[in-house]
Amino acid sequence: MNPFSGFSTVWKKVFHGVEKWRKNFPWRGKGGGAAVRGLRVNRAAGPAVPAVPAVPAVPGGYREVWRVAAPIIVSMASFTLMQFFDRVFLARHGSVSLRASLPAGMLALTLTMFFQTLAGYAATFVAQYHGAGRKRECGAATAQGIWLGLLTWPLGLALIPAGFWMLSAAGHPADMLAAEKIYLAILMAGCGFWSLTHAVSGFFSGRGDTRTPMRASLAANLANIGLDYVLIFGKWGFPAWGIAGAAVATVASSALGLGLLLYWYGRPALRAEYGTGGMPRLDWRRMKPLLRFGTPAALNAVQDVGAFAFFVVLLGRLPAADMAASNIAFSINNIAFMPLLGMGMAATIVVGQHQGARDSATAERAGWTAMKLAWGYMGVVALTFLFLPKMYFALFTGEGAGMVTMADVMAKGRWLLVLMALWGMLDAINLVVGGALRGAGDTRFALLYTVAVTWLVWIPGELVLMLGFRAGLMPAWGWMTVFVFLLAGGLGQRFRRGRWKTIEMIQREASAGMDQGAEAAGRGSGRG
């Protein structure tokens, strides 16, 4: 079966949807221009004539989903660009730095993913409370996420020795292992910034305000690129720290992004309406449902990233050219993965808001709409993987000492991109549908199914291929593609059957009325 069959039809729908959005969007500010005021200006004829009333946006349609998704995608794209420059700078610094950064970075992400996802799941509660019109509860839910970020920071530091042991057990060369430990230790020292950022940004994105986190992300990622250049190579009077400089740049830029978010979170208008700002109040009554629904989501994220990190560690046993081709391919894949992750986050928000408003039909429409947009995007990226492989690989190769050359990686690298084009289309289903299920609170099924497919099919298969049969790079990647296919099929069927529509995440009884009274009091105090 051709993986791109039906793509043209989907893309046409996406194009027409975007074009319809463009024509109906009020481009001229608050007044919306002449069309919004009820007039269409015919510049050739001169006089204004009555305009045909604009078709209202369809709830859960392209306009609503794209409004939420676009800033997230920009944030993810900027993060991708930051990682991209990380790899480019480290590749120029040396082969050891480049090879060490991926396994150590993946391990740091694995060790902290539970904390980040758990704190960030507060965004789903914010989305549902916002959809239900209970604004004060949005601030209260965010406060619990902030507390989780603070409480889990010491746990992240305590995991550094475990991370060192895992890296040592991988059997990598001594110079590579030393670089990995430095990179891991610095990243883990700043892991609390990541969890807190997820919690605070979730307040804005859960309400549909994805532009504010976008601005913070752009500032942080641009700062990271600049700090990478300065600290890796020792520019402008700074020492040349190499791979340690890349890690310090990541932590410093994360702190900058968090600082911006906290500043905006504490604005007087939000404080009066949502109860934000000041020291957050720890409330175990609100913490319990966050732990109940967030823990499966966090465990799912951990095992997902952990399995991928284990796969990367296995690839570390391959010859240098094979591993370099694989690392470069993974870096290239971030171009596709991060915007898809952003679309999945948008699905979580929009589905959560409509579920909070008890409108499951619109929530379902929003999920499928996000899926179509993700496929349209991934289809374009897949085509560049197939037809422009040299463009990608040229950025990571060179002729310096210790550098891999184009000839070393192209023979296998181009076939890796072919596989990426295929499983990228499948992974779009996993990321977007998985996000929609999280927005509805259906986190247990996603955890159980993903764990079963990962640890009963994918990882055992990789161990047999790479350790038993001594298979090379292509069989290992091919089996990963089979895994992504199985995952997409199961999650897609779960969303289609609609059992998630019956899940109740937030209480609907008297607490809602009490919350509305608190909101009114808060607004009154804000006017005073």
In this predicted structure, the answer to whether residue 42 has a pLDDT above a threshold of 90 is: no
**Tens digit of each residue's pLDDT (9 = 90 or more) over 208-228:** 999 999 999 999 989 988 898
With tokens 């927005």, the residue in question is 439
In this predicted structure, the answer to whether residue 102 has a pLDDT above a threshold of 80 is: no
* 283 and 347 inside one domain: no
Longest alpha-carbon distance in the chain: 79
Mean pLDDT within 483-494:
94
With tokens 């952990």, the residue in question is 306
Q: How far is CA 206 from the centre of its chain?
A: 14
- Residue 294's alpha-carbon distances to 118, 174, 259, 262, 358, in angstroms, are 5, 39, 25, 22, 20
**Tens digit of each residue's pLDDT (9 = 90 or more) over 444-462:** 999 999 999 999 999 999 9
In this predicted structure, the answer to whether residue 521 has a pLDDT above a threshold of 70 is: no
* 286 and 371 inside one domain: no
- Predicted pLDDT of residue 351: 95
Q: Between 5 and 357, where is the model more confident?
A: 357
- Residue 259's alpha-carbon distances to 78, 121, 519, in angstroms, are 18, 20, 27
**What percent of the chain lies above the pLDDT cut of 90?**
39
* 207 and 106 inside one domain: yes
Mean pLDDT within 83-108:
75
- Predicted pLDDT of residue 57: 65
Residues in Cβ contact with 183 at an 8 Å cutoff, skipping those fewer than 6 apart: 100, 101, 104, 105, 108, 243, 244, 246, 247
Mean pLDDT within 66-86:
81
* 289 and 331 inside one domain: no
Q: Are 352 and 131 in contact (CB under 8 A)?
A: yes
In this predicted structure, the answer to whether residue 180 has a pLDDT above a threshold of 50 is: yes
The DSSP string of 488-500 is HHHHHHHHHHTGG
* 343 and 285 inside one domain: no
Mean pLDDT within 471-488:
90
Confirm whether 222 is domain-assigned.
yes
3-class secondary-structure state, position 50: strand
Confirm whether 395 is domain-assigned.
yes
* Averaged pLDDT score across all residues of the chain: 80
* 153 and 117 inside one domain: yes
Rounded Cα–Cα distance for residues 507 and 513 (Å): 11
3-class secondary-structure state, position 503: coil
- Encode 312-343: b = buried (16+ Cβ within 10 Å), e = exposed: bbbbbebeebbbbbbbbbbbbbbbbbbbbbbb
- Encode 355-374: b = buried (16+ Cβ within 10 Å), e = exposed: bbbebbebbbbbbbbbbbbb
Ranges 46-50, 293-297, 322-326: which has the least confidence: 46-50
In this predicted structure, the answer to whether residue 130 has a pLDDT above a threshold of 70 is: yes
Q: Between 161 and 54, where is the model more confident?
A: 161
In this predicted structure, the answer to whether residue 362 has a pLDDT above a threshold of 90 is: yes
Rounded Cα–Cα distance for residues 431 and 450 (Å): 12
Residue 175: band (very low, low, confident or very high) from pLDDT cuts 50, 70, 90: confident
Q: How many domains does the chain have?
A: 2
* 171 and 205 inside one domain: yes
* 322 and 280 inside one domain: no
DSSP character for 472? -
In this predicted structure, the answer to whether residue 81 has a pLDDT above a threshold of 50 is: yes
Q: ∠85-90-94 over CA atoms, to 5°?
A: 150
* 392 and 438 inside one domain: yes
* 443 and 330 inside one domain: yes
- Predicted pLDDT of residue 432: 94
* 263 and 335 inside one domain: no
Pick the most confident of 19-28, 31-40, 489-498.
489-498
- Predicted pLDDT of residue 406: 63
Ranges 123-127, 314-318, 409-413, 422-426: which has the least confidence: 409-413
- Predicted pLDDT of residue 405: 62
Confirm whether 40 is domain-assigned.
no
Q: How far is CA 282 from the centre of its chain?
A: 27
Question: Torsion angle, CA of 65/71/75/81, rounded to 10 degrees?
Answer: 90
Confirm whether 17 is domain-assigned.
no
**What percent of the chain lies above the pLDDT cut of 70?**
81
Q: Which of 490, 498, 484 has the alpha carbon at shortest distance from 368?
A: 498
Confirm whether 312 is domain-assigned.
no
In this predicted structure, the answer to whether residue 403 has a pLDDT above a threshold of 70 is: no
Find the domain containing 379 and state its range. 318-499
* 324 and 283 inside one domain: no
- Predicted pLDDT of residue 26: 40
Confirm whether 339 is domain-assigned.
yes
Q: The tokens of 302 are what?
A: 């951990």
Confirm whether 218 is domain-assigned.
yes
- Predicted pLDDT of residue 157: 93
Pick the most confident of 5-19, 47-61, 357-371.
357-371
**Tens digit of each residue's pLDDT (9 = 90 or more) over 381-395:** 899 888 888 787 776
Tell me the pTM.
Answer: 0.76
- Predicted pLDDT of residue 91: 72
**Tens digit of each residue's pLDDT (9 = 90 or more) over 252-280:** 999 999 999 999 998 999 988 888 877 77
Rounded Cα–Cα distance for residues 281 and 507 (Å): 20
Confirm whether 6 is domain-assigned.
no
Q: Between 136 and 472, where is the model more confident?
A: 136
- Predicted pLDDT of residue 96: 72
Mean pLDDT within 290-316:
87
